[in-house]
Amino acid sequence: MKRIVTIQDISCVGKCSLTTALPILSAMGMETAVLPTAVLSNHTAFSSFTFHDLTDEIPKILEVWKQQKFQFEAVYSGYLGSIRQIELVRKLQKEFTEPSALLFVDPAMADGGSLYKGFTGQFAAAMQKLCSHADVIAPNLTEACIMTGTPYREDGDELYCRDIVKRLADQGAKNVILTGFSYGRGEIGALTYDRDKDEFRAYVNEKLPVVFHGTGDIFASVTLGGLMNGFSLGNAVRLAVDYTLACVRATMADEHHNWYGVNFEEALPYLIDRLRSLKGKAENVQKREGSQNKRDADSRPAENSVHTHVV
């Protein structure tokens, strides 16, 4: 079993950050250690909330982890509350992982053209630096614009998005996933860029005319879970886009649904079925073609692909 660590807040109510990452990554077969950065009564999209910062606790935890010689195969950072916490993510990467481990950064600091409540330009600059050391980053368009100094355009076309994604990779991130990407109305997905292969890919699926909180954290958790299960970036992103849609559908199916989080729980069987099917395909290919070709197996198109482009 792979052991990974995720560093983000725990919002007691309003499904996001740790309360979604943990069940999703567990369902995907990861032993998931957590470093809670803060405890909130509920996430910050509610009209009021408490915020108890845990930054001072983290160095003490890391001290004991060092004594215990804990190591992780991936570090996944989400919503962070301070520049010191960003520095602690780097410490985790440097001191608690092998060079082959994955650093996955969801900048989780902005949306809709502006920074979330409480975040500053200085924080954004520190996040940009962290992203430059990452293997995979998953910003939305607002975060990507902030980190590249690009004016935010909601109606930006594919070329506009590609340019931003490429510039993020030029800053150092090996793989960039621009979330919330679409070619037009009625669809949503992600645009990815793999720096080593110099390859853009886009995958989109149906966009329902609703907005729910917490879908970004679901998307990021599933993408990381897919990568840690050995899937290609393309297949991990397809799985994440499709599962996020399944969560939104499950939410809509309940007439008493909440605005503050999606029903990812009832969609978990779908996630596990897709995971099994992708792993099954990889094993079949391995049997047929021998172990040398195994790494190619997960690059086959997933079922239910709606719209895939390699450019």
**Using the rule CB under 6 A, is 15 a contact of ligand PXL?**
no
What is the DSSP secondary structure assignment for residue 151, as one 8-state letter? P
Is residue 63 within 8 Å of residue 57, measured between CB atoms? no
**Using the rule CB under 6 A, is 180 a contact of ligand PXL?**
no
- The least distance separating ligand PXL from the CB of residue 248, rounded to whole angstroms, comes to 15
Residue closest to 162 by CA, chosen among 214, 125, 109, 198 = 198
The SS3 call for residue 127 is helix
Cα-based torsion angle of the residue sequence 35, 39, 43, 47 in order, rounded to the nearest 10 degrees: -160
**Using the rule CB under 6 A, is 251 a contact of ligand PXL?**
no
- In this structure, the strands spanning 51-53 and 110-111 are unpaired
Between 46 and 152, whose beta carbon lies closer to ligand PXL?
A: 46
Residues 185-224 that bind ligand PXL (CB under 6 A): 214, 216-217
- The least distance separating ligand PXL from the CB of residue 294, rounded to whole angstroms, comes to 35
- The least distance separating ligand PXL from the CB of residue 216, rounded to whole angstroms, comes to 6
Q: Which position among 74, 108, 130, 228 is part of the footprint of ligand PXL (CB under 6 A)? A: 108
Is residue 219 within 8 Å of residue 138, measured between CB atoms? yes
Segment contacting ligand PXL (CB under 6 A): 38-46, 142-150, 199-207, 302-310? 38-46
> Helix 215-228 and helix 268-289: axis angle, to 10°?
20
Cα 275 to Cα 169, 192, 221, 245, distances in angstroms: 28, 20, 13, 16
- The least distance separating ligand PXL from the CB of residue 165, rounded to whole angstroms, comes to 21
**Using the rule CB under 6 A, is 101 a contact of ligand PXL?**
no
**Using the rule CB under 6 A, is 244 a contact of ligand PXL?**
no
**Using the rule CB under 6 A, is 43 a contact of ligand PXL?**
yes
